[in-house]
Structure formats: structure tokens, C-alpha cells
Structure 1
Amino acid sequence: MTKVLVLHNVSLVRSALAALLRSEGPFEVTTAGWRTAARQSQSLRPDVTVVDLDCPGTTAVLADGRRGDRQVLASPSSVLMLASTGAPGSLHRAFQAEARGYVDKDGSPGRLVRAVRKVAAGERFIDASLASAFMAADPVPLSPREVSVLARAAEGDSIAEIARALHLASGTVRNYMAAATRKTGARNLIDAIRISRREGWV
């Protein structure tokens, strides 16, 4: 039995994805929102974790595997991303985080089922429709740590909260913010967040 964890911030979407998977194969499916994701991931140790790349909070987790001060992803190599062709920057970020599979959200349900089986078997899966988006994605100019800091700032976390979550000194967090602002060519931190969101980096 393949253990699958579906992470999504919308309950109805989680339920629909779980129902689809249960009807299509020998999958033991558990669902969770980001609030309980760490607990579910640690207790279940899933073979595959399905994550929507467009969900709020995904960026921070991709950058360092954590939500707040708790580890969310048991293993990046078991992650299957639901993605869209309109956000190549996001795809590039997910690829840097070493996600194992990528399914086009506009594709057929059968593609998701096939992808889950492939990732559970330790293989890669990339929808053909997403391949060109991968090629079009410009390299992310920010380091993984800068992305993580910027993503948490974009969610409204204070410098102290970011420092605590990432086990950094407050001064180090400020340095990462300054570097991200400079690398994006932004006028200030708010502008850096805006640019990064537009490009799909955060």
C-alpha cells in the first residue's frame, strides 16, 4: 500500500484529490493543511507528498523544508508538485528544492495517478506540458536562504519571527533581506517581495 500525504490549504481540494487517488489505486491517503502538515508528515512518513505549488506557504517550505520551527517535508525526494505552465519561476524554485515529480494542474486525473506511482517507485515524473516552462524559467538570482527569508517576510513574519524559525541572528536576517533587495533590483523590501512574487520566486 502506497502512503500518500496531500497538503493543501483548501479543504475541498484536499478531499477531492484524496477521493481521486483512493478510487484509482492501492493508496493510503491522508490529507492536511499547512497547520497540521508537520505532525502528519512526521507520523505518516509518506511515500509521496502531493503539494500544490501555488498554495500560500509553499515557498517557505520548499526553501528549507520547515513551517515555523517544525520540519514539514520528511524527504524532498518524495514530493510531487501540482504546478501550472504560467509560473516558470515557481517551477524552477521547486526544481531547486529537488522535488521528484511535477504534474500539470490542467492535465488529466490519470496523469496525477501515474505520477504518484512513479514517485513512489523512486522515479522522476515531469508532465510534457511543463517541460517547456522549465526551459523558459530564468535562474533564480536569490540563494535558497534569501528565498526563505523573503518568503517569510512576504507572509508577514517579523525579523524576530524569521530569525527564530530559521535559527538565525536578527542581524543575519537583515543581511539576507538587504541582499535579496539588491539582487532583485528593488527599491526596498516591499518592492523585492513584489518583484519576486511576479517572477514566481516567492
Structure 2
Amino acid sequence: MIRLQLVHDTNLLRCALASLLAAERDIEVSASSWREVERPGTPAHSADAWLVDADCAGFAALTARDPVVAGGGAGHRGAAWSGAARPPREDGEGPAPGLVVLAPTGRPGLLHRAFAAGALGFVSKDARPARLLDAIRSVVRGSRYVDDALAFDFFSATHMPLTPRELNVLSLAADGAPVPEIAERLWLAEGTVRNYLAAIIRKTGARNRVDAIRISRGAGWV
């Protein structure tokens, strides 16, 4: 029996997905919002796989810090899933849960962030249910699964134009932080922050900072 933790912040979609997956004889589903699943004592820590939607706000938190999915506890980063096989849990009780991500087409940045978080399965949100089931079962076996519909986006994700530091600066700018605040939070000189912003505008082909934020959000980079 596959123990699947489904995490989605939209109740109607979460319930619909849970009903679809629970109809399978070999899948046992636990469904939660991101807020609920992070509570102490959640049963998600014993799941064989996690299914998350890259469009959910909680996904940004998953890619920005040590997620609870990463081996069942803080300090074990999702990047440990960079190989094909699932690594062991920190408590030694079997392999860590595999991560399956639902993603829209045309936003390669989301795939880049999901890969960095250790995802093994990538399924288009326009895919047939059978593809999602195949992905879940493949990931539980320790294999990667990339939906054909996401192949081009996955290739594009390898050509991410911004450096990690530039992404940090852009993410703070996208949240409305002015240059002095960005400099303080990242321990940089204000002139350095302005240089980063200029580089971001040039690399994204944007007209200005606001346009760079729009382009990067559209691609899923921030």
C-alpha cells in the first residue's frame, strides 16, 4: 500500500484529487493544506510520497527552506533527492518520501525550483489521471518521472538566466523591499544591490525592475 500525502491549499481541488487517488486500491491518501501539514505530529512524516501543486503558495516555502518532506525533518534538505533513488530517512526507518509535483506548462522556473527541492516526479496539470498515477508509483519505486508535456519546459529550466544571489535580490524586490532593505537583509552594499538589479533587468530582457519582476514571475523563477 502506498501512503500518499497530498498537500493543496484549495479545498475543492484537494478533495477532488483525494477522491480520484483514493479510488486506487494500492493508494492510501492523507490530504492537508500546507498550514495543516506543518503541525507537529502530522502523519505526513510517514508517507511514502508527497504530491504538491507548484502553483500553491506553500510551494514557495518548500523551495525556500528545509521542508518537512525532506527526509521527515528539518536539516535534511530536499536536494538530497538529486539522485534517482530515494535516500534513507533520518531515523533509518526505510527510504525518505518521494516528491511528486503538479506543474503548469510554460513556467520552467517552477520545475527548476521543484528539482532543487528534490522532486522526482513532474506531472503536467493538464495530464490525464493515468499519468499522475504512473508518476506516483514510479517515484515510490525510486525512479524519476517527467511528463512528456513538460519536457521542453524541463529543458528550458536548465538555462535559468539568474544566479542564486540575483534570485534572492529579485525575490525581495518582488515583495516590495526597497534597495536599502534588500542590502540590509542580504548583508550587501546598496550599490551592489543596484548592480544586481541592473544585471537582472539585462538578463531578463526587461525594460525596468517592475518588468523584470513580471517576466520572472510569469516564468516561475520567483
TM-score tier, shorter chain, comes to 0.7 to 0.9
Opposite residue 55 of structure 1, the aligned amino acid is: C
Task: Tell me the residue number matched to 1:14.
Answer: 14
1:4-26 alpha-carbon deviations (Å, 9 max, x no partner): 11111101111111111110132
Work out the CA distance in 2 between the residues paired with 1:41 and 1:147. 33
SS of structure 2 residue aligned to 1:116: helix
SS of structure 2 residue aligned to 1:25: coil
Pairwise CA distance, 1:145: 6.4
Task: Tell me the residue number matched to 1:126.
Answer: 146
Is there any run of 5+ residues in structure 1 with no aligned partner, and where? Answer: 66-70, 164-168
Q: Of the two structures, which has the highest relative contact order with CA contacts closer than 8 Å and spacing of 6 or more?
A: 1
Which segment drifts farther, 81-90 or 104-113?
A: 81-90
How has the CA–CA distance of structure 1 residues 142 and 63 changed in structure 2, closer, same or farther, with 3 Å as cutoff? farther
Work out the CA distance in 2 between the residues paired with 1:47 and 1:145. 34
On the 8 A contact 2:170/2:197 being kept in 1, the answer is no
Aligned length: 189
Identity over aligned pairs, percent: 41
Pairwise CA distance, 1:136: 3.1
Task: Tell me the residue number matched to 2:36.
Answer: 36
Task: Tell me the residue number matched to 1:89.
Answer: 109
SS of structure 2 residue aligned to 1:81: strand
Pairwise CA distance, 1:148: 5.9
Query: In angstroms, what is the RMSD of aligned CA positions?
Result: 3.4
How has the CA–CA distance of structure 1 residues 42 and 74 changed in structure 2, closer, same or farther, with 3 Å as cutoff? farther
SS of structure 2 residue aligned to 1:24: coil
On the 8 A contact 1:89/1:200 being kept in 2, the answer is yes
How has the CA–CA distance of structure 1 residues 109 and 181 changed in structure 2, closer, same or farther, with 3 Å as cutoff? same
Higher percent of residues as helix:
1
1:73-123 alpha-carbon deviations (Å, 9 max, x no partner): 334341101112221222223223331100111111111111111111111
When Rg is computed on C-alpha atoms for both structures, the one with the higher figure is: 2
On the 8 A contact 1:64/1:148 being kept in 2, the answer is no
Work out the CA distance in 2 between the residues paired with 1:175 and 1:26. 55
Opposite residue 107 of structure 2, the aligned amino acid is: A
Opposite residue 185 of structure 2, the aligned amino acid is: G
Task: Tell me the residue number matched to 1:59.
Answer: 60
- TM-score normalised according to structure 1 size: 0.75
Task: Tell me the residue number matched to 1:141.
Answer: 161
Work out the CA distance in 1 between the residues paired with 2:169 and 2:116. 16
How has the CA–CA distance of structure 1 residues 140 and 12 changed in structure 2, closer, same or farther, with 3 Å as cutoff? same
SS of structure 1 residue aligned to 2:38: helix
